[in-house]
Structure 1
């Protein structure tokens, strides 16, 4: 278990170092995760060795949200003061992100000539 966890943390460290050295606008853990996925594809035995540890981590993933919950509780006075503005900003940005994604999807669909398969009618002339 310790070697697999060390390997996960090593990939995260490498990703963090690469992110800072190359001044890439991606978080280090994301780069490390991509490198880890590439290493597991390149060497499937690595994925097999890490599987038991990763399954335990995924089974207990909800525990990783406890610190965030504690942080929210610790900042209740700030949330009382700025909560409405924060909620409005979160809802507004979510709606804007969904609308932008839908617009980009429809634009790409138009560029590629894709059509909705459910809109095509079968006229029975096969």
Structure 2
């Protein structure tokens, strides 16, 4: 499991370095996560210590929503001023995400059926 946690931290560190080096607006952990996705796609599999580290973190994922909820509570005045902009962007974002997910599932289903 230690190897898996170190792997997660290395990819996060690489993402932070890229963000700092190129002065990007994208957070370092997001870049690290994309790099890890590319790494795992090239490798075509994971390894047991990474799986156990990820499952350990996923078990406590709901705890990460508490600070976000507190942020919403403390920013009520800003949210109330920008309610319609937030609502419309969330609505459009949800529609786009659903459409993309549906098209991706269609593509993957067709690809899976063509292999059989």
Tell whether the structures are fold-level matches, with TM greater than 0.5.
yes
Aligned position for 1:75: 75
How many residue pairs match? The answer is 102
Q: Which runs of 5+ in 2 are unaligned?
A: 104-116
**Structure 1 residue aligned with 2:30:** 30
Q: Distance in 1 between matches of 2:55 and 2:91?
A: 34
Task: Choose between structure 1 and 2 for higher RCO, CA contacts under 8 A separated by at least 6 residues.
Answer: 2
Q: Which runs of 5+ in 1 are unaligned?
A: 106-126
Cα distance in 2 for partners of 1:39, 1:91 equals: 32
TM-score scaled by length of structure 1 = 0.55
Distance 2:28 2:75 in 1: 27
The structure with the larger Rg is: 1
In structure 2, the CA distance between the partners of 1:49 and 1:43, relative to structure 1 (3 Å rule), is farther
Deviation digits for residues 4-42 of structure 1 (CA, Å, limit 9, x no counterpart): 334312211102212443567754323322333416864
Native 8 Å contact 1:40 1:47 kept in 2: no
Q: 1:40 to 1:9 in 2, by over 3 A?
A: farther
Distance 1:90 1:6, change over 3 A: same
1:16-73 Cα offsets, whole Å, 9 max, x none, are 21244356775432332233341686496x7212222211111222222111111001
Asked if the contact 1:16–1:28 (Cα under 8 Å) also holds between the matched residues in 2, the reply is yes
Question: Secondary structure of 2:82's partner?
Answer: helix
